[in-house]
Amino acid sequence: MNFPMDKPIFQFLYWFVNTAGNGGIAVGVLALLIVVFVFLGLRWVAAGSQSDEESYSYPTPALHEKH
Amino acid sequence: MARWSMVIDLEKCVACQGCSIACRFENNTPVVSQELALEERAMRWNDVFPMPHGEVGEFPNTKTHYMTRPCMHCENPPCIKVCPVQATYIDDEGLVRQNYARCIGCRFCTVACPYGVRYFNWYAPQFDPDLAQHLNPDRVEGKGVLEGPSVRPKGVVEKCTYCVHRLQKAHAQAEAEGREFRPDEYMPACVQTCTGKARFFGDLDDPNSTVSKLAKSKRAFRLLEDVGTQPKTIYLQEGE
Amino acid sequence: MMALKVATRDREVLIDPLFQAGRGFWLLVTFLLLVIGWGVAMYVRQVWSGLGVTAMDRPAYWGLYMVNFIFFIGISHAGTLISAILRVTGAEWRRPITRIAEAITAFALVVGTFQILFDIGRPDRLLYVFWYGRLQSPLLWDAFSVTAYFLGSLTYLYMPIIPDAALIRDNLPENAPGWRKLLYRMLALGWQGTPTQWLRLEKLIAIMAVLIIPVAVSVHTIISWILATTVQPGWHSTVFGPYFVIGAIFSGIAALFIAMTLARRAMHLESYITEKQYRNLGYIFITMAAVWFYFTYAENMTSAAGQLKEEWPVLASKLWGQYAATFWPMVLLMFIAFWVLVFPSFASRSWQRVPIFRPRFALSSAVTSALLLGVLTIPQTRPVLTSIDPVVSRQTLIVLTTIFGFLAGVTILPWLKEHLVEGTVIASACVVIGMWLERWNIIVPTMTHPRLIGNSAYAPSLTEWSLFGASLALFVLLFIIFFKLFPPVSIWEVVEGRVLDRAQEKVVVPMPESTRTPASAHAGFGDD
């Protein structure tokens, strides 16, 4: 009657949710991932000004069709 | 390993509150002022209270039934599942422990307990000057650990520990004397004090212990069995 | 490096006021700081003495702070719904209100998280939640999802600001202080508005919009699971996840209506935020109201039918016990909100020719009804009219209250039909208060009616009310400071919308082909 704790995957999951500190690591990893993703994304957007194109104050669908 | 359990025989209990008082002195639980007690700020690790159904019978032959309630030390405790910092946890001897050094005072465990055995330090504990000189010096402490009778700071949760410091002392004694630990060397203060000899304590894993035998009694019941917490504090109902 | 251009009217309404702070602004800031200061003082006292200064006790170990926590995090769902879902579904009318909505989200999350700080017994150990965090606890799931939502919302708030910051950078007034010039230059990230940049920005915003929707749903679901994963009566309910999310979106839209009306009035945005926003968002609001009523009824009906031993006292306290005073006003407020939003469409302007269909009559009718309701519900220490049979007088009072209430509701309809903005604000105020009461009704009756402890009462203390007031003041303060730094309306989105609208007006949609003329046998479908 000890199933599921007989299986190693459940032993691992039990350890994972029951160990102090894992929660902080999970939140930290998540925050790091989001910050990195956003940083890279913003850098990608800012880098779009390299080319010698016209500048516009606002977009329209026509702007994207032309390119 | 052991599975510590307490059996309380309600037929023998006379509601003298000796258990509550012994617990208070053993575990350095402060007394609060009357105003605070009226505000439901009193802390009673072991609580003796009249049963909610009130008085039974016609005057002058009325009777009030009393209940004495320590922590249930459940085997499926709802309180340990919700603690965000593992300040409360179940150890391998079946005791639900409370670590004051880790507790952040969120009171999630207190809210999750269906029995109401947990108490919160709304203020820093204050002891009467005379009592302050006679605090129980036993401490359960270690690196990042502060449990048992150790004087609590404000803002943490506390509850009955089945006198875990006595268990620690019994283990230490056995080791110092180079012998096996004997289960009958360990009993909580309330069990030791009980006027009516209504409380029993022992290891449920040992089929020959008193608690194991009493647990099989026809009078045995547990509080809120339908909730699924599997409490280890067992009661024997009144009557034959 | 070309300077980005902005239309004069847009600049005058949206950019120039950012650099002008009148006396009213500073008075408001001072008042808010005073309220916050009082809250800080009360908090310091609480940390010094302990949580004993609150009214929480055994068994009500959670009280006003928890109610406010759920309430503020609920309000934070405004931003996601408006910005993300409407962006993803291509609803063009969302353009003028996205920034206000996103700002509400960010600040509501901040203020909501503060409530946790107020509530825990050891605020000095707050970081233990991370150093020693245990993932099985719903509080950790909450930390996880709120972190994701907060960082995501900040990003989602910031990205559409980039082109606007560049616009301000290129159109600063002469008297702009140096630190502000630097601020906009830094925030603009060197934005030039090239087609590549626009493409990339819009793509990134679109990705964020899609990703943030499930995160937002998870936030309030997980908060509901803080309650639903316990075994306490009234909380252990399967419907809590969806119920809380709907309630959050409902209260979020209400908060958004109030915020956008105040912003519209204070910053003269009438030409940007028009009745179209109120009407379209109003449809979603009405839908949320209907779903809320459905969930509330389902929740309470199943509880009433089951009559489980531990659940029944909780429900009874809400229906006719000590919490009837918070339950029935909540239902009434939500009903009034629904009435105010839906029923004006059944009225017509011509009704106003009849003299009773005027606001003055409706108001006096409502006041009469409220007075009669007061006489009915507030316990009288001495019987008011001893000569009249109490049963008959009570029945008469109920009938009269209903009649006057109904009269008030019907006679106000033409006025509501003409005053969409005012009507929506009235409904939103009812909803915000009603949703706060709903949070109260979820937490407090269960806390005060536990299984094994005698029933108790809980009425919050001065400390708790002070921190509530300070939280509201902080929310408003963050809001008005933010909208002194950034335009309240997303300029580039609104201009894009204007261009699209004008282009659409020029499109002439032809009549459909008739099926009767013989020549049409070849025209229309094929291209022979």
Residue C524 pLDDT more than 60? no
Chains near B (3 or more Cβ pairs under 8 Å):
A, C
Instruction: Please tell me the distance in Å from A1's CA to the nearest CA on chain C.
Output: 23
Q: What percent of chain C has pLDDT over 90?
A: 77
DSSP sequence for chain B: ---EEEEEETTT-----HHHHHHHHHTTPPP--HHHHHTT----SSEEEEEEEEEESSTTS-EEEEEEE-----SS-HHHHH-SS-SEEE-TTS-EEE-TTT-----HHHHH-SS---EE-SS-----HHHHTT-----EEETTEEETTSPPPTT-EE---SSHHHHHHHHHHHHHTTS---GGG---HHHHH-TT--EEEEETTSTTSHHHHHHTSTTEE-TTGGGT---SEEEE-S--
Under 8 Å CB pairs connecting chains A and B tally to 6
Task: Summarize pLDDT for C79-109 with one digit per residue, the tens.
Answer: 877 789 999 998 999 999 999 999 999 999 9
Task: Summarize pLDDT for C314-368 with one digit per residue, the tens.
Answer: 999 999 999 999 999 999 999 999 999 999 999 888 888 888 888 889 999 999 9
Contact of C434 with C74, CB cutoff 8 Å: no
Residue of chain C with shortest Cα separation from B122 = C52
Task: Give CA separation, C324 vs B238, C124, C442, in Å.
Answer: 39, 38, 13
**Once rounded to an integer, what is the mean pLDDT over residues A24-29?**
96
Model confidence at A1, pLDDT cuts 50, 70, 90, reads low
Residue C18 pLDDT more than 80? yes
Q: Among C11, C134, C135, C150, which would you mutate to test the A interface (most chain A Cβ atoms within 10 Å of its Cβ)?
A: C135
Q: Among B80, B85, B103, which would you mutate to test the A interface (most chain A Cβ atoms within 10 Å of its Cβ)?
A: B85
C6 in contact with A at a CB cutoff of 8 Å? yes
Residue B213 pLDDT more than 70? yes
Which chain C residues are within 8 Å of A34, Cβ to Cβ? 147-148, 151-152, 155
Q: What percent of chain C has pLDDT over 70?
A: 95
Please tell me the predicted confidence (pLDDT) of residue C528.
46
State which residues form the domain around C161.
Answer: 8-499
> Mean pLDDT, chain C, as a whole number?
91
Please tell me the predicted confidence (pLDDT) of residue C522.
53
B84 in contact with A at a CB cutoff of 8 Å? yes
Picking from C62, C128, C129, the nearest residue to B107 by CB comes out as C62
ipTM of this complex: 0.92
A23 in contact with B at a CB cutoff of 8 Å? yes
Picking from C50, C59, C119, the nearest residue to B121 by CB comes out as C50
Task: Give CA separation, C334 vs B188, B210, C288, C329, C376, in Å.
Answer: 55, 60, 11, 8, 21
Does residue C54 lie in a domain region? Answer: yes
Integer distance in angstroms from the first to the last C-alpha of chain B? 33
Torsion angles phi and psi, residue C130, rounded to 5:
-95, -50
Residue of chain B with shortest Cα separation from C54 = B122
The neighbouring-strand residues paired with B64 are: B55
Task: Summarize pLDDT for C151-179 with one digit per residue, the tens.
Answer: 999 999 999 999 999 999 999 888 889 99
Which chain A residues are within 8 Å of C492, Cβ to Cβ? 57-59
Distance between CA B83 and CA C128 in Å, rounded? 11
Domains of chain B: 4-236 (3.30.70.20)
Please tell me the predicted confidence (pLDDT) of residue C452.
86
Task: Summarize pLDDT for B143-201 with one digit per residue, the tens.
Answer: 889 999 999 999 999 999 999 999 999 999 999 999 999 888 999 999 999 999 999 99
Which chain A residues are within 8 Å of B86, Cβ to Cβ? 18-20
Q: Dihedral sign, CA of C220, C226, C229, C231?
A: negative
Residue C494 pLDDT more than 60? yes
Contact of C446 with C233, CB cutoff 8 Å: yes
Count structural domains, chain C: 1
Residue C2 pLDDT more than 80? no
A15 in contact with B at a CB cutoff of 8 Å? no
Please tell me the predicted confidence (pLDDT) of residue C247.
95
Q: What percent of chain B has pLDDT over 90?
A: 77
Beta carbons of C129 and A28 less than 8 Å apart: no
Does residue C179 lie in a domain region? Answer: yes
Q: Dihedral sign, CA of C90, C92, C98, C99?
A: positive
> Mean pLDDT, chain B, as a whole number?
92
Task: Summarize pLDDT for C372-425 with one digit per residue, the tens.
Answer: 888 888 776 676 656 666 777 788 889 999 999 999 999 999 999 999 999 999
Task: Summarize pLDDT for C436-458 with one digit per residue, the tens.
Answer: 999 999 999 999 999 888 878 89
Which chain A residues are within 8 Å of C168, Cβ to Cβ? none
Instruction: Give the CATH number of the domain where residue C390 resides.
Output: 1.20.1630.10
- Please tell me the least confidently modeled range out of A46-50, C23-27, C337-341: A46-50
Residues 7-46 of A with CB under 8 A from C: 16-28, 30-31, 34-35, 38, 41-42, 44-46
Please tell me the predicted confidence (pLDDT) of residue C26.
95
Beta carbons of A49 and C196 less than 8 Å apart: yes
Chains near A (3 or more Cβ pairs under 8 Å):
B, C
B41 in contact with C at a CB cutoff of 8 Å? yes
Residue of chain C with shortest Cα separation from A57 = C4
Contact of C383 with C439, CB cutoff 8 Å: no
